[in-house]
Amino acid sequence: MIPMVKADAYGLGAGETVRALEPDDPTAYGVATVEEGRRLRSRGVRRPIVVFSPVPPGEYEAAVEAGLTVCLSSLEALDRLAGAAAARRDREDEPVPFHVEVDTGMGRSGFDARAVDRWGPAVARAHGGALRWAGVFTHFHSADVDGSATAEQIRRFRAAIDALDLPGEADFLVHEANSAAALRRPLGLLPAVRPGIFLYGGRAGPSLPPPEPVVSVRARVVLVREVPAGTTVGYGATYCASSDERWATLAIGYGDGLPRALGNRGEVLVAGRRVPIVGRISMDLTVVNISVTDGVDAGHVATVIGRDGGEEVTLDDVADLAGTIGYEILTGLTGRLPRIWETDGF
């Protein structure tokens, strides 16, 4: 298990996420950047930390110094890593680990699976001495929707592995599955998986098992008003009350990560009822029509994502309405929203 805690654990907070995952004894943690890896190290994480995005020239020294495992996509990157390993001052006796990414169709990073003869021997020769080849992996482009495309990528990956002279160490890691692929287990995947979105309560694919909810987003009602027909709301006055209505102003807006696309479209839960967002969403405020509710005052807590009474708005409901994916909603939640961690009670 290599839990992906990149992008501050999909916006939830990498420190708390790692604390929650530690008892499950993960093999390693996955991040995107050297800086993310350094932050995890400074929080006291001792396990291997794999940096999945290609490392920009000039950051190899910092990666080596922090004891991070970089992923290589080119022989130039291998040279840079070797240079940084040769130049380091501490832990000189400990070889610097790296993983090799094999591109089987994702196209954004990795050595080309079709050209394994051109890069494989040089990578194998680099193992030993100052460097240690610790793993090889690929990444699927359509595991959320298409098992056959994934099967083809698996075929290309396995063919590349067969052509590689892999180190024989027992702890050498071969990995390929993101959340969606891990949930399609009948494909015959390898045991090591790199889950991300499923850990954070996001749907991995339309026909895949739904996740347990993990995240709720809540906002305070800061004002309740009875408004007569003809009252307009928000920038552009895009909504106008057609009869007497009761409106609640919520202290949340796109400055908190609530997608502006939900203006006149989204729904939130207030007092256990589903109520519509009216008008455009502002940076700090959102107005909902709570005419169907009773007894809601300033201070009441509205639910933007999560459960209230018998009703639920899921992360993916919000993403679908906003025309995006749960990943973007979660990573878009800004620092203004305090993260409150509960060990149970969802």
Ligand X SMILES: *Cc1c(COP(=O)(O)O)cnc(C)c1O
Own/partner pairs for 288-295, CB < 8 Å, 24+ apart? Answer: 288/247, 288/248, 288/250, 289/241, 289/245, 289/246, 289/247, 290/224, 290/246, 290/247, 290/248, 291/245, 291/246, 293/246, 295/271
Our CB check for ligand X shows the closer of 166 and 192 to be 192
Cβ 198 to ligand X shortest distance, Å: 6
235 is a catalytic site residue: yes
CA distances in angstroms from 312 to 33, 267, 309, listed in the order given: 35, 10, 8
The verdict on whether 6 is a catalytic residue reads yes
**Which residue's Cβ has the minimum distance to ligand X?**
196
CB of 177 to ligand X, least distance (A): 8
What residue ranges bind ligand X (CB under 6 A)? 4, 6, 52, 139, 178-180, 194-198
Q: Which is nearer to ligand X, 95 or 147 (CB)?
A: 147
Strands (E) in the chain, as ranges, are 29-31, 49-51, 69-72, 96-103, 111-112, 131-137, 173-177, 192-193, 217-227, 232-233, 239-240, 245-250, 267-270, 273-278, 286-289, 301-308, 311-313
Q: Based on CB atoms, which residue is closest to ligand X, 156 or 194? A: 194
Find the shortest distance in angstroms from Cβ 179 to ligand X.
3
CB of 182: closest distance to ligand X in angstroms? Answer: 8
Give CA–CA dist 272/295, Å, rounded: 12
Which residue of the set 10, 29, 60, 235 is catalytic?
A: 235
188 sits in the region (left: phi over 0; alpha: psi -120 to 50; else beta) called: left
* Beta carbon nearer to ligand X, 150 or 178: 178
- Given the residues 6, 60, 239, 254, select the one marked as catalytic: 6
1 vs 222, which CB is nearer to ligand X? 1
Q: How far is the CB of 44 from ligand X (least distance, A)?
A: 23
Point out the residues that are catalytic. Answer: 6, 235
